[in-house]
């Protein structure tokens, strides 16, 4: 065994008197500073998925196939069943989207008309999971029925059982637009969790899609797969293989790119900041090792007088640094993973504390005569987030962060190592 390693192992042995105790603080500070990085690495993907999942399920789909104008419908039917056979695909939905003006006795509003299969609610489990029924049912079996977004319903002041008229352009020739008026029975009111979408969405049956002029609407096939956040590309490739040439396929990442990109940017920024925190903490290692070097000056001088070279002393300090890094990484990864795994409970706990604190504050203020109104605090607004952040532990990210920690620690021991190596034996020995 190399003598530096031998010395380092003895110096750092927990069963021996001292040096380990000297570096405990550094280990702890490095470990604790690693915790945020680990948590962010493990949870942020889940949070992005949580935020993104809803919009994908209620509207964007995982993949969208855009048909070239109005395709031959017979050809389209075989296409759909082909697409359903692709591996990991769980639902294939035909949809036409167009715009119109809805009005009722209560008022009028511009709407996005989504003509979906009558049984969309049953066919598309993700859609049913994230769409909240506010009133009635999502029942489009009767071609005369419609389902509205919650904001839209309240703007038009209509409820289940009321009727609704929709004006749509059906041909645009030159300067003149001819319009048609259709009547629908309101069967249900839904909420997607996004007000700006609930304000616009009007669902009707695919059978009535002809009220949408082909030139003012688009026809798409929405595809959903088992996991939109993983392995989407092979599906895209397979879909392209099946489709005739004139079709285009878009992934949700492309369709929601502005939203998704800003999440990703935020995530990278967070990771960068957390890494910076860790880097700052590793300065602790430098100062700890400098103290250790001062404390061990005598022993280092003796070792040098016995022929330990400067290089070997430098290596000894690198081992110290690496050891702090390794133990710190263990501590950090341990605590970090524990926190990541229980992030939902932690958030719940914080909410509980905040709300109780808030209650107590309100109660105290009430005794002094001040009445404060306020809703309960929700850290993750369930309107936008999943109720639970999905947690997928990624061992590679953990290993990466741990490696980064050890690397930083070794870098941090560079300076103390150099200064220990430069120590001249006599400076110390002469004092005795």
Shortest separation between residue 286's beta carbon and another protein, angstroms:
22
Shortest separation between residue 13's beta carbon and another protein, angstroms:
7
In this complex, which beta carbon is closest to another protein, that of residue 4 or of residue 44?
Answer: 4
DSSP-assigned beta bridge partners for residue 290: none
Shortest separation between residue 430's beta carbon and another protein, angstroms:
7
In this complex, which beta carbon is closest to another protein, that of residue 187 or of residue 304?
Answer: 304
The contact set with another protein (CB under 8 A) reads 1, 3, 6-7, 10-11, 13, 16-19, 298-299, 302-310, 312, 424-426, 429-430, 432
Query: How far is residue 159's CA from residue 307's CA, in Å, rounded to a whole number?
Result: 91
Shortest separation between residue 406's beta carbon and another protein, angstroms:
23
Strands 201-205 and 108-116: parallel
- Torsion angle of alpha carbons 181, 186, 192, 195, nearest 10°? 60
Shortest separation between residue 20's beta carbon and another protein, angstroms:
9
Burial grade of 72 (CB within 10 A; 0-12, 13-18, 19 or more) = exposed
DSSP-assigned beta bridge partners for residue 251: 63
- The DSSP element (H or E) to which 191 belongs, if any, is strand 176-191
Q: Which of 62, 166, 72 is nearest to 112 (CA)?
A: 166
- Report residue 391: phi and psi, to 5°: -110, 115
In this complex, which beta carbon is closest to another protein, that of residue 18 or of residue 400?
Answer: 18
In this complex, which beta carbon is closest to another protein, that of residue 7 or of residue 150?
Answer: 7
In this complex, which beta carbon is closest to another protein, that of residue 307 or of residue 369?
Answer: 307
Shortest separation between residue 412's beta carbon and another protein, angstroms:
22
Q: Which of 201, 224, 179 is nearest to 62 (CA)?
A: 224
E-strand spans in 85-175?
89-103, 108-116, 132-136, 145-149, 163-173
In this complex, which beta carbon is closest to another protein, that of residue 307 or of residue 382?
Answer: 307
């Amino acid at each position: 065994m190399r003598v530096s390693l031998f010395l380092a192992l003895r110096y750092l042995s927990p069963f021996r008197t001292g040096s380990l105790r000297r570096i405990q603080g550094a280990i702890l500070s490095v470990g604790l500073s690693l915790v945020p990085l680990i948590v962010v690495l493990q949870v942020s993907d889940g949070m992005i998925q949580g935020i993104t999942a809803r919009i994908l399920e209620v509207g964007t789909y995982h993949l969208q196939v855009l048909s070239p104008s109005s395709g031959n419908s017979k050809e389209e039917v075989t296409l759909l069943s082909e697409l359903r056979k692709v591996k990991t695909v769980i639902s294939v939905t035909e949809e036409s989207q167009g715009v119109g003006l809805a009005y009722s006795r209560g008022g009028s509003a511009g709407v996005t008309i989504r003509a979906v299969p009558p049984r969309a609610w049953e066919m598309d489990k993700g859609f049913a999971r994230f769409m909240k029924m506010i009133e009635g049912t999502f029942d489009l079996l009767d071609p005369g029925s419609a389902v509205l977004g919650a904001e839209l319903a309240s703007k038009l002041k209509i409820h289940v059982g009321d009727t609704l008229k929709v004006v749509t352009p059906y041909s645009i020739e030159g300067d003149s637009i001819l319009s048609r008026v259709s009547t629908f029975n309101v069967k249900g009111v839904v909420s997607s969790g996004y007000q700006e979408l609930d304000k616009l969405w009007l669902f009707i049956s695919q059978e009535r899609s002809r009220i949408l002029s082909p030139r003012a609407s688009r026809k798409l096939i929405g595809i959903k797969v088992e996991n939109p956040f993983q392995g989407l590309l092979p599906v895209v490739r397979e879909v392209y293989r099946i489709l005739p040439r004139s079709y285009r396929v878009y992934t949700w990442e492309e369709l929601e790119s502005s939203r998704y990109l800003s999440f990703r940017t935020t995530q990278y920024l967070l990771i960068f900041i957390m890494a910076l925190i860790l880097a700052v903490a590793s300065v602790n290692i430098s100062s700890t090792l400098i103290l250790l070097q001062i404390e061990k000056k005598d022993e280092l001088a003796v070792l040098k007088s016995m022929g330990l070279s400067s290089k070997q002393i430098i290596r000894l300090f690198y081992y110290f640094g690496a050891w702090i890094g390794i133990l710190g990484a263990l501590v950090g990864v341990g605590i970090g993973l524990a926190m990541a795994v229980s992030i939902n409970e932690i958030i719940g706990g914080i909410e509980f504390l905040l709300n109780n604190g808030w209650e107590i504050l309100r109660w105290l203020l009430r005794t002094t005569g001040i009445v404060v109104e306020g809703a309960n605090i929700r850290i993750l607004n369930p309107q936008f987030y999943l109720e639970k952040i999905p947690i997928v532990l990624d061992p590679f990210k953990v290993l990466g962060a741990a490696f980064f920690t050890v690397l930083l620690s070794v870098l941090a021991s560079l300076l103390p190592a150099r200064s220990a190596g430069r120590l001249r034996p006599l400076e110390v020995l002469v004092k005795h």
